[in-house]
Amino acid sequence: MRAIGHEQVPYVAYHWPLEARIRDFSRVIPVSAENGRAIGHWGEIPVAWRKSIGTGTLIFVGSPIGPALHAGDSDAASLLCSLIDVLDARI
């Protein structure tokens, strides 16, 4: 989280498929999966996960990036494009 005055602005730090800090406009949902990997954290809490299933990959993002996209956040757009590119490459 980033401090602004006396308030805390929550950010999710993604580290896969690229490094990005995306503002969270809602509540985050902690996630975990057996044999998976955390790809994003809100503080110490994993909120985004990826897991290989057969020849595919399941990605769960427990903090919506839609509001950040709507607000014009370029890091959110880059993250979404990178996720799509990674998934397209696996098809």
Q: Identify the pLDDT of residue 21.
A: 95
Give the C-alpha separation, 12 to 64, whole Å: 10
In this model, does residue 2 exceed pLDDT 50? no
Mean pLDDT of the chain: 85
**pLDDT tens digits for 58-81?**
898 888 888 899 999 999 999 999
Q: Where are the domains of the chain?
A: 2-90
Give the C-alpha separation, 17 to 55, whole Å: 18
**Among residues of the chain, what percentage have pLDDT more than 70?**
88
pLDDT band at 3 (very low <50, low <70, confident <90, very high): very low
pTM of the model as a whole? 0.80
Q: Identify the pLDDT of residue 41.
A: 94
Q: Identify the pLDDT of residue 8.
A: 67
Give the C-alpha separation, 26 to 36, whole Å: 24
In single-letter form, the type of residue at position 15 comes to H
